Structure 1
Amino acid sequence: MPIRSLTLATLLLIAAPVFAADSDTPLAQDRGKSRPLVIIAPKADDPTLVSIRKVLEEPANREAFNQRNMVLYTLVGLEGKRNDKPLDTQATMALIREFSQGAGGKTRVVLIGKDGEKKMDADTLDPKEIFATIDKMPMREREAAAPVSAATPAAPAEKAPKAGKGGAPVLDD
């Protein structure tokens, strides 16, 4: 009996970090809800990061970003943010582990689908390319088609009654 308990305890000690590693990443909370765009840069004044932020601030790009249910993660050095709000240390370290990015790496742009799979990994951000990649995804095609099919045709407008003598309505049969 003690051997079984010891074996079970050992298995739990080995397996616990594996299960915790899956659940502690901030990307896990977005799975099925949004499409994370992760920008990884070695320092805040990185020219690629600065240009990416500028591109995403343009109203047309911001609108397209929001329409596609995207969230922006930035990982600059050892500081992580989600939609410009700081992540805690544990979440930031989970992102660093997930992308195998230590201090001093090169700038990367990674697009993650709603299914949690990596869809794109590039050195720069071309918004048209990212939006086109998302629009080709089966889930996005269903999202784009749903509002059109859900819309009901407009009912024909009712005719206003015609006024007869003395302002009394005349009924058409």
Structure 2
Amino acid sequence: MLIRSLTLATLLAFVGPLFAADDDSPLVKDVGRARPLIVIAPSSVDPVWVNLKKSLEDPANKQGVAQRNIKVYSVLNMFGQLDGKDLGQQDTMALIRSLNLGAGALPKVILLGKDGEKKIESSGAESKSVDLKKIFDTIDQLPAAEKEATVPTPAPVAEVAPVKGVKGAKGKPAKPAKPPEQPDE
């Protein structure tokens, strides 16, 4: 029995990360609700991040970000934030995994639509040309169907009335069956 347990534990330790769900990414919650803008930079003084952050702090741009339902994710030196609030390390890694970016030390700017598809993706020197005006223009040029995309709300579950006349419908619950005994190996 001990050998089986150790074998199972070892197998799960190696295979478990392979079965990690893609839906653990914080981006899953935004599909149909918001447009994630993801900025990945090697440090907090990277020019790409500094320029975007400065323009995000402008009051006129704040209003434009709110109107277009943009959520700003930043991953700076492997520490993630969502709209200035820290993400946990697991959420940050799940965010990076879900983008399928591969390795690289260059800054990246990615805009996802409400449908979850990449609308802007730039890396390296190309990222320096991405500013909020370009992001706003890209969103404003999207088709109306994407602009109004929302997540469908699930239908309410109707309660099932108990069936009368069925034996065992009322009364005490049955005792659980005793598990069969396993011989020790």
Instruction: Give the shorter-chain TM-score range.
Output: 0.5 to 0.7
More helix by share: 1
User: Which SS does the other structure have where 2:21 is aligned?
Assistant: helix
Indicate if the aligned counterparts of 1:74 and 1:82 stay in contact, CA closer than 8 A. Answer: yes
Per-residue CA deviation, residues 95-138 of structure 1 (Å, 9 max, x unaligned), is 22234355x61111100001111110121332121111111212
Indicate if the aligned counterparts of 1:73 and 1:82 stay in contact, CA closer than 8 A. Answer: yes
User: CA offset at residue 21 of structure 1?
Assistant: 2.9
Aligned 1:76-155 pairs, distance under 5 A:
76-99=76-99, 100=101, 102=103, 105-122=105-122, 123-124=127-128, 125-138=130-143, 139=145, 141-142=147-148
Write the letter of the residue equivalent to 1:83: D
TM-score, with length taken from structure 2:
0.63
Distance 1:106-1:59 versus aligned 2 partners, 3 A rule? same
Write the letter of the residue equivalent to 2:90: Q
Structure 1 residues not aligned, in runs of 5+ = 1-9, 144-173
Indicate if the aligned counterparts of 2:39 and 2:107 stay in contact, CA closer than 8 A. Answer: yes
User: CA offset at residue 26 of structure 1?
Assistant: 0.8
Give the superposed CA RMSD.
2.4
1:24 counterpart = 2:24: yes
Q: Percent identity?
A: 42
Indicate if the aligned counterparts of 1:42 and 1:77 stay in contact, CA closer than 8 A. Answer: yes
User: CA offset at residue 61 of structure 1?
Assistant: 1.1
Structure 2 residues not aligned, in runs of 5+ = 1-10, 150-185
Equivalent residue number for residue 169 of structure 2? none
Distance 1:142-1:86 versus aligned 2 partners, 3 A rule? closer
